[in-house]
Structure 1
Amino acid sequence: MKYFGTDGFRGRANEGLNVDHAFKIGRFVGWYYGARRGKKARVIIGKDTRLSSYMFESALVSGLVASGADAYMLHVIPTPGVSYEVVDGGFDCGVMITASHNPYTDNGIKLVNHEGYKMDEDVLELIEDYIDGKSEVPLATGENIGCTVDYMQGRNRYIASLISSCGFSLQGMKIGLDCANGSASSVARPVFDALGAETHVINNAPNGYNINVACGSTHIEGLQRFVVENGLDIGFAYDGDADRCLAVDERGHLVDGDLILYVCGTYLNKYGRLAKSTVVPTVMGNFGFFRALEAAGLNYEKTDVGDKYVYACMRENGYNLGGEQSGHIIFGDLAKTGDGILTSLRIMEVLRAEREKLSELTRPVKLYPQQLVNVRVSDKDAVMNGEDIKAAIAQAEEYLEGNGRVFVRASGTEPLVRVLTEAPDEKLCTKAGAIVLTALEKYKLDE
């Protein structure tokens, strides 16, 4: 794919991704799901809080209505809210404007099909051809021109669905929420308040520039302090579009995606609700996490990094729980994509049912130290196919003598190669990682 990566079409606003791209995406989608099928398309649009999201929203809406589609505007909403409402409202497709955990200067466009899943690649290829001028789309005229609809009721229905997914009360629970000044800012608190929690919220005053800035799931340390200083029972941190969630236990310790999968997986399996007693993590999962799953009698099937690979494996094999260390957790029985707020509620379900603190539920997992280094490179393919890099990885793993691993992967959205080392102690991590990082020196991108 030329424009659409593993997480949509993403780039620096008006540089890598510009308003012309957004207009053309709207034009093609409006035609493809409308006139091509002999009816007006109904498309919903959501966005996060970054400055450029409003600009891209206007461009997308203009393109949609110009092609004859009716554009339903959800305004600021988490990405999973778009996925939910596409299905709930019977729309032809949905569009989310977000760059997730990236800085406000970036933005992106994610497309989901009528089933709430990421858009099929064959359709994305057609959109790319249109962007590049390889095809044409007619303009709608007269009564065939589309209209815009202020669709706040869709966001309200999404909030109601989160609340109704809980058959329990949070009365007496003191819960901290870090909304990353992003999409969760307008959704998370109403959900927890409705369930009776004593809700303490930080970073929920977006101004267009402060999304993900020293807050949210990418800067968990703020929530860790907040939980301890205020004597809270638990804390949850979301990313910019709230499809990820990381937790903080009552002691201020980070509970990442691996630990969340362990806590929820063992709970669901205990009550016969984990399909095939199997969890679907990615290859980036921690050694200690995998060993804890084995000790608990759970199976696991690892996928490539990326939520689309996790969910593809879940759908193909009938599994209902999977996710990434970053906090992108998918509860297949309840949602079509990762949902940070839903993940929070599922963790609270476990705490309520088991009557234990989060620190107690995670105690069986002894995580290995990990070191992750991002290296900006001039050619990701050259790195990943380089025999010298493969030899360095083999040398590093030989150094670890089977008590750890070295994993190298290319970023799907940036000119980065990620080097993960994992070993029983930090010194071994550093030494093993240095072997690969030295080999990467000649591929580094000149700053």
Structure 2
Amino acid sequence: MKIYKFGGASIRDAVNIRNVGRVLQTVGYADCLIVASAMGKTTNALEVVVARYFSAPASLDQAVQEVKDYHFQIAYDLFPQSKAGLFSEMHALFEKLNHFLSANKSPNYNFVYDQIVGYGELLSTLILHHYLESCGIDNRWTDSRLLVKTDTTYRDAQVDWELTQSQIRSEIRSQVLHITQGFIGSDPNGFCTTLGREGSDYSAAIFAFALNAESVTIWKDVPGVLNADPRYFPETTLLEHLSYQEAIELAFYGASVIHPKTLQPLQQKEIPLYVKSFINPLLPGTEVSKGMALSPQIPCFIVKKNQLLISLSSLDFSFIMEGHISEIFKCFHQHHIKVHVIQNSAISFSVCVEDPFQQFEVLRSILSKQFKVSYNEGVSLYTIRHFEEQSAERILQDKTLLLKQVNRETIQMVIKE
């Protein structure tokens, strides 16, 4: 089978959903499984629902209504002559969402988040399923929560690979075009879990691994994997070929085109990954596969914004030893702080980190009992793979360098812009 993954940009409105139909008719869809994300910025909108559930319940209904209006408008645009089956199924999903909001007793933010945010993928795949049916593309809507089984680490669930493979292999048939959801699974009690933001790519890899797929194709609004993010760099170059190792390095450092967890299961079974344009689906795009050299061999730029640079030093000017570092990293792990750069000297320890769950203030109060804590908020981390001195110098123009780290292939710079 082939796995096709369509992200939020590719299905953000009726025009783009129609384009998915054209892409499938152009490249073929025999023996395929489609993994789809939530539409457009739906995940962000559902995060607003979560926030209001906890802090502004008076405006909760309005936040839900905005999500509902957005999806129903897309459905109306696709089906001007009302399609009763689709609309009744969409109403049923919103009834389930509202029932959870009114009946839930759990104060666990991460649990509530996963029960709410997953509706984005359920709605998008439902609309896509009905639209493709109307185009004569027979398909089966499949609930990935029944197939991708995880633990109870809400918002960053860990996959139960043995059970997930068993479920997928028992339900997915190669002769049928299946449409399922990225990003979501379920825990042993049947509650929805999510695989981390941008986790739909990872979902595609999970299905590919379980099905021994021929390939995975991620359909994007760019021609493939570029050597830099066009939002930050005016000139970019398409990378035609990447090895798994190179792609994993880029993903590890934060390249946004491929999710960090996506590549490991594909590499294990040597399943090639293609990143292609849903605007021009016949273009070759980028191929990631075994043993492929980086082509062309040029510097690759990765930017991570809104980072924290934290510097810790001992209160009594004693050395920071392995035991201290172990305690520090235990705190980072417990508070879901993601570490991207580490630099230490005899009496200080600096890290550039990401704080996705806004836990830094809690962490700082804990660390301050043992260390002097200083920090810079809102810094940017620039990583250049296969760097040249000139490329690093260009980035530093009119910026303040706070930390720099260099090895043979890679330079990382924490910068205040």
TM-score past 0.5 threshold: no
Give the TM-score normalised by structure 2.
0.30
Structure with the higher fraction of residues in strand conformation: 2
Give the TM-score normalised by structure 1.
0.28
